[in-house]
């Protein structure tokens, strides 16, 4: 068994806050920033683009609340398929566990919507108010028209992004090609308008005001992820052996002879950190794995002509001079469960029945018809989950002589549910008991030989009719 890495859960050192408790991260450049921009761009393209795709005459991805159907391109899912959704959520959870054991909070750093929107909001803030030092100065400056203008630009940008995000999100539940014109003409229905306002507010508060507090204090994953790391997990680490003792030095000085390590104590890694922590204090629960400190420190190392990687992705074992083990029981276990679950989900989707049959017996027990036969009434409900109209015929089994009073085929439109009232009759002499199980069989006509069965009860009395 691999040991768990000792992530600090105690209070982290006081953070550099400047504006009523706000952290002002410095902007920076580097490889991991480009990687995060690529991850964020892919997420934005997926989120803002997919909602506008059409599939036939409807939106390609739409959770239609009015019909309770979830459309994903050519497939439609019904409440009966909710189990598949649960399976997808479980796969996502195991995928997250796998990634955490392998590389810590890599999800948080590059693709979590909270982080991606937070970085976008920070970019808007920088465009409106300047970089870290200018923002700190602005916070301390008295209220002037110029300050008001900069603040208005920032909050206007945030609100605009929040509104577009909210409209897009609601557009996955209400067809967006109708929603947008309706909103522009103030004709949107009250519930759509309410949700647009609610999600605009939530996005504005989350990404603009709460930011890292969501990751640090509110996100449950942030809380439990530390217990999943082991000494071979790749985490963002400061190389203490190489960096300490830290200290300032003159350019080109022989700092090793002066007893100094590679860290020049420039504080850049702290200033770029969106959660305001100092990674040199060790791995902390507040670290969202954004790698900003790696980029900042590598830039400093490059400028000084030192080797990069003083802060880098490394396992605890590597930092202690050992070799990182990639294959270990926990990682292999999560990986195996993930593969099995994905395979099972693919099989469940591929073999999913596109027809659902439901038979409900009429509340009256039974009656005698004109031929003196005992008759029971049922409502047969057929749901056609495919997009094509289909023709069906019903059969009933369970007893010799048992038959449907009207066995004519019927059509169920694509994506529709049809309720067919039917009567089943049998002569009283053929009835072995007052209650017996009977089976309805639904046969698909027109090339398909598939059948669906549902068992229900038939009631009567074994005496002759009076």
Residues that bind ligand SF4 (CB under 6 A): 236, 238, 243, 246, 263-269, 272-275, 277, 279-280, 287-293, 296-297, 300, 310-311
Q: How far apart are alpha carbons 110 and 118 in whole angstroms?
A: 11
φ/ψ region of 106 (left if φ > 0, alpha if ψ in -120 to 50, else beta) reads alpha
CB of 300 to ligand SF4, least distance (A): 5
Exposure string over 176-211, b if 16+ CB within 10 A, otherwise e: beebeebbeeeebeeebbebbeebbeebbebbbebb
Q: Round to whole Å and give the CA distance between 302 and 221.
A: 35
The C-alpha atoms of residue 178 and residue 187 are separated, in whole angstroms, by 10
What's the token pair of residue 10? Answer: 């105690």
Question: At its nearest, how many Å lie between ligand SF4 and the CB of residue 187?
Answer: 45
Q: In this complex, which beta carbon is closest to ligand SF4, that of residue 23 or of residue 396?
A: 23
Cis peptide before 125 (omega within 30 of 0): no
Nearest to 378 by CA among 453, 437, 456: 456
Query: Among residues 116 and 422, whose Cβ is nearest to ligand SF4?
Result: 116
Specify the residue, 291 or 402, whose C-beta has the smaller distance to ligand SF4: 291
CA distance linking residue 102 with residue 96, whole number of Å: 10
Q: b/e per residue, 35-59, with b = 16+ CB within 10 A?
A: ebeebbeebbeeeeebbeeeeeeeb
Query: How many alpha carbons lie under 13 Å from residue 231 in its C-beta half-sphere?
Result: 11
Q: Which CB atom, from 19 or from 307, has the smaller least distance to ligand SF4? A: 307
Q: Which is nearer to ligand SF4, 26 or 324 (CB)?
A: 26
**3-class DSSP state of 78:** coil
Closer CB to ligand SF4, 12 or 376, in the complex: 12
Minimum CB distance to ligand SF4, residue 328 (Å): 23
Q: Closer CB to ligand SF4, residue 28 or residue 77?
A: 28
Least separation, in Å, of the C-beta of 84 and ligand SF4? Answer: 36
Candidates 368, 417, 371; CA nearest to 392 is: 417
How is residue 4 written in tokens? Answer: 């768990």
Compare residues 202 and 266 and give the one whose CB is closer to ligand SF4: 266
3-state SS class at 399: coil
The CB-of-290 to ligand SF4 minimum distance in angstroms stands at 4
Helix, strand and coil content of the chain, in percent to the nearest 5, comes to 45, 20, 35
d(CA 236, CA 313): 5
Residue 297 vs 426, nearer CB to ligand SF4: 297
Strand pairing partners for 329?
Answer: none
**Cβ pair 25, 132 in contact under 8 A:** yes
Cβ nearer to ligand SF4, comparing 266 with 430: 266
Around Cβ 4, how many Cβ atoms within 10 Å?
Answer: 15
DSSP conformational letter for 323: -
| Least distance to ligand SF4, CB of residue 259, Å | 16
How far, in whole angstroms, is CA 294 from its chain's centroid?
A: 28
CB of 160 to ligand SF4, least distance (A): 27
Least Cβ distance, residue 109 to ligand SF4 (angstroms): 7
Q: How far is the CB of 289 from ligand SF4 (least distance, A)?
A: 5
> For the chain, how long is the longest CA-to-CA vector?
116
Shortest Cβ 236–ligand SF4 spacing (Å): 4
Q: Which is nearer to ligand SF4, 228 or 310 (CB)?
A: 310
CB of 454 to ligand SF4, least distance (A): 56
């Amino acid at each position: 068994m691999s040991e768990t890495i000792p992530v600090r859960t105690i209070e982290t050192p006081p953070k550099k806050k400047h504006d009523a408790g706000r952290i002002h991260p410095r902007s920076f450049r580097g490889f991991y920033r480009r990687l995060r921009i690529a991850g964020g761009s892919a997420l934005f393209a997926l989120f803002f683009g997919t909602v506008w795709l059409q599939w036939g005459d409807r939106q390609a991805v739409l959770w239609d609340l009015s019909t309770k159907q979830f459309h994903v391109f050519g497939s439609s899912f019904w409440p009966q398929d909710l189990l598949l959704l649960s399976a997808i959520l479980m796969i996502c959870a195991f995928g997250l566990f796998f990634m955490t054991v392998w590389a810590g909070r890599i999800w948080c750093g590059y693709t979590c919507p909270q982080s991606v929107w937070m970085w976008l909001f920070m970019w808007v803030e920088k465009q409106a108010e300047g970089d870290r030092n200018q923002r700190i100065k602005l916070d301390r400056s008295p209220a002037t028209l110029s300050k008001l203008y900069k603040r208005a630009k920032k909050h206007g940008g945030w609100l605009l992004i929040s509104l577009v995000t909210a409209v897009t999100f609601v557009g996955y539940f209400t067809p967006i090609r109708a929603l947008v014109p309706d909103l522009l003409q103030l004709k949107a229905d009250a519930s759509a308008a309410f949700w647009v306002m609610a999600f605009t507010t939530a996005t504005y508060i989350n990404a603009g005001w709460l930011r890292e507090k969501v990751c640090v204090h509110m996100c449950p994953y942030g809380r439990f992820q530390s217990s999943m790391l082991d000494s071979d997990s790749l985490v963002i680490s400061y190389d203490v052996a190489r960096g300490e003792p830290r200290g300032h030095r003159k350019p080109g000085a022989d700092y090793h002879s002066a007893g100094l390590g590679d860290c020049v104590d420039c504080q850049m890694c702290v200033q770029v950190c969106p959660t305001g922590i100092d990674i040199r204090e060790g791995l902390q629960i507040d670290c969202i794995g954004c790698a900003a400190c790696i980029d900042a420190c590598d830039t400093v190392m490059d400028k000084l002509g030192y080797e990069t990687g003083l802060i880098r992705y490394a396992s605890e074992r590597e930092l202690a001079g050992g070799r990182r083990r990639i294959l270990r029981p926990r990682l292999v276990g999560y990986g195996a469960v993930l593969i099995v679950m994905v395979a099972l989900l693919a099989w469940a989707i591929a073999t999913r029945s596109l027809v659902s049959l439901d038979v409900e017996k009429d509340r009256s027990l039974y009656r005698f018809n004109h031929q003196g036969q005992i008759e029971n009434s049922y409502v047969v409900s057929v749901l056609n989950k495919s997009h094509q109209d289909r023709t069906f015929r019903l059969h009933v089994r369970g007893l010799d002589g048992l038959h449907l009073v009207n066995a004519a085929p019927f059509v169920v439109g694509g994506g529709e549910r049809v309720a067919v009232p039917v009567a089943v009759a049998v002569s009283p002499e053929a009835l072995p008991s007052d209650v017996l199980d009977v089976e309805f069989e639904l046969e698909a006509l027109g090339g398909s030989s598939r059948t669906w069965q549902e068992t229900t009860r038939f009631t009567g009395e074994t005496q002759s009719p009076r």
